[in-house]
Chain A
Amino acid sequence: MKVNIYVTLKPGVLDPQGKAIHHALEGLGFAGVDDVRAGRFIELEVADSVSDADLDAMCARLLANTVIENYRIQRA
């Protein structure tokens, strides 16, 4: 089955990359964008036997750096 992992910067962690993207959007003339935060999207193809606890451990131990990032797991 497919599992989607969304890794995002924690609130309060500065995101210079998001700021640069925001700036570029404004440069292209898109008004009304208040903020941009850039993250990472990871797709896993896993056996049905892989448990939620396993997925959580994968995120906590490797896919996200929990010092600066949050993660969200979605079974597709």
Chain B
Amino acid sequence: MKTAVIVFPGSNCDRDMAVALEQVTGKASAMVWHRETALPDGTDFVALPGGFSYGDYLRSGAMAARSPILAAVSEAAGRGVPVLGVCNGFQVLTEAGLLPGALMRNAGLNFVCRTVPLTVANSQSLFTASYKVDEAIAIPVAHHDGNYFADAETLDRLEGEGRVAFRYADSVNGSARDIAGVLNDAGNVLGMMPHPERAIDRAHGGTDGLRLFEAALGVLA
């Protein structure tokens, strides 16, 4: 299992993501700089980490979504390679058009940084197969722009096709229909605002995030 973490100027959860991936795979992730035009040969899992790529200039994720490596990520996603975007990574995936919708300023205008209860809305995806549907889990969030928006027709389609992966159990940021994470139509791209890589060790206060990596990286017993 070869994993890659994309690093943008302003990424700050890239190391945490790499630690989570290595904990599950036993192998170090490739750290891929945004100026690269190709992923390492044989990459079979790509993670876009949290942070403030390009200082959130223009819009969160907007500049990163147009960086050279995103063409390679998009091509890999098209081949079915699993791509996980967390927080800023989710914003990048929507800006790049790999996921529908947009992430706007939190409805309360405040930066929200705390562990939040989530509900698993889809337990069939490659990322969520280790959870039970409607299971309550707890994963930290830390964001200013996590207010998920899409038009009603898109939201209906996402719900109808089982592409909402996680919902906030309580309102956190004003997201439409409390959506915390969405899948692409093929199910191999997941974007989510909560940080599963911050919930992989008891010392973190919880390990609910670890199961996402275990499912996605195919090492569940």
User: What residues of chain A have their CB less than 8 Å away from a CB belonging to chain B?
Assistant: 13-14, 16-17, 20, 61-63, 65, 67-68
Contacts and interface: CB of A to CB of B under 8 A. Distances in A.
Nearest to A66: B102
Given A13-B149, A14-B174, A65 B106 contact: no
Looking at chain B's contact residues, is the secondary structure mostly helix, strand, loop, or mixed? Answer: loop
A68 B102 contact: yes
Contacts of A65: 59, 62, 95, 102
Interface residues of B, number: 19
10 contacts: A14-B174, A16-B106, A17-B109, A61-B66, A62-B58, A63-B58, A65-B59, A65-B62, A65-B95, A67-B102
Nearest to A13: B149
B101 interface: yes
Contacts of B150: 67
Given A14-B107, A16-B109, A68-B149, 6 more contacts: A13-B104, A13-B149, A16-B107, A16-B147, A20-B109, A65-B102
